[in-house]
Amino acid sequence: MLVGHIKEIVRHPVKSFRGESIPQTKIMDYGLYGDRSHAYVDESKNGNFLTISQFQDMVRYQARFVGEESMETYPKVEVITPEGKTCDWEDPALIKEMETKSKRTISTKQYAPAHVPIGPIAVEHVLLATDASLDKLTELWDKDDVDLRRFRPNLFISLKDKQPFVEEEWMGRRIRIGNQVEMEFVGHCVRCMIITVDPENAERDSSLHKTIIKENNNNFGVYASVIKTGDVHVDDEVHLLD
């Protein structure tokens, strides 16, 4: 059954940095090619990943791959700072800037293109959200348009029938995207403080989180596990399988 099409594909080359909207990519066993394949490590906190939870300003740094995707090595990872400067993700000056702002000691970590462990990706392979749910949340919040980037989905689906939160009814079922990729819905995305951080200015507003807790049991978006790998493209059809 046709339920919609892919409206946007978002990949986060660096964990907790702003992602990049891309026209197409590969779906690997672990999810989108290179998604959260690079990360900063907080050496002052037993080597845990540095995230927005500890350093809110991470939402204002954008990471992107520059070059062709390869299974042998990743393309160059560039970072655009909040001030608009472009640099390599391991640039010592960038690391120093982040250490000064966060008051933490930072190191870097990256994974091979063929395998990114579940740790940096968080809970599951791919996070999906729908336009109908985002529009409904904007209505419920009744404050500002809700910025999709707050929720950091990989695949944003435009639904054929605009039923808010219908994706939450698909647990245990599979979808096919385009002609190759299949995924199975495995769980709700339970939200944390990260969604309270405005992607533009890193300021916090807890009212959005409170709205989701009250109106939708603190869930927004759904996780899916990859069943069949392949290529995905913006505008690919999304079919819910029997």
Whether the pLDDT of residue 30 is over 80: the answer is: yes
- Token representation of residue 227: 């069943």
Whether the pLDDT of residue 117 is over 70: the answer is: no
Whether the pLDDT of residue 105 is over 80: the answer is: yes
Place of tokens 């991470």: 58
Q: Tell me, what CATH number does 185's domain have?
A: 2.40.33.20
Number of compact structural domains in the chain: 1
pTM, 2 dp: 0.94
pLDDT confidence band for 175 (50 / 70 / 90): very high
- Token representation of residue 71: 């299974």
Amino acid at position 55, single letter: F
- Token representation of residue 59: 């939402």
- The DSSP annotation for the chain comes to -EEEEEEEEEE-SBTTSB-EEESEEEEETTEETTTT-EEEEEGGGTTEEP-TTT-GGGGG-EEEEES---SSSPPEEEEE-TTS-EEETT-HHHHHHHHHHHTS-EEEEE--TT---HHHH-SSSEEEEEHHHHHHHHHHH-SSPPPGGGT--SEEEEESS--TTGGGG-TT-EEEETTTEEEEEEEEEE--GGGGB-TTT--B-THHHHHHHHHHTTEEEEEEEEEE-EEEETT-EEEE--
Predicted confidence at residue 242, as pLDDT, reads 85
Report the alpha-carbon distance of residue 231 to residue 35 in Å, rounded: 14
* Residue of 48 and 221 predicted with greater confidence: 221
Predicted confidence at residue 196, as pLDDT, reads 97
Whether the pLDDT of residue 121 is over 70: the answer is: no
Whether the pLDDT of residue 123 is over 90: the answer is: no
Whether the pLDDT of residue 120 is over 80: the answer is: no
Predicted confidence at residue 112, as pLDDT, reads 85
Phi-psi region of 230 (alpha: psi -120 to 50; beta: other; left: phi over 0): left
Please say whether the beta carbons of 238 and 157 come within 8 A: yes
Please say whether the beta carbons of 42 and 99 come within 8 A: no
Report the alpha-carbon distance of residue 225 to residue 127 in Å, rounded: 9
Report the alpha-carbon distance of residue 28 to residue 30 in Å, rounded: 5
Containing domain of residue 79, as a range? 2-240
Tell me the mean pLDDT in the region 55-73.
95
Tell me the mean pLDDT in the region 104-124.
76
Q: Which residues contact 51 (CB under 8 A, 6 or more apart)?
A: 15, 16, 58, 194
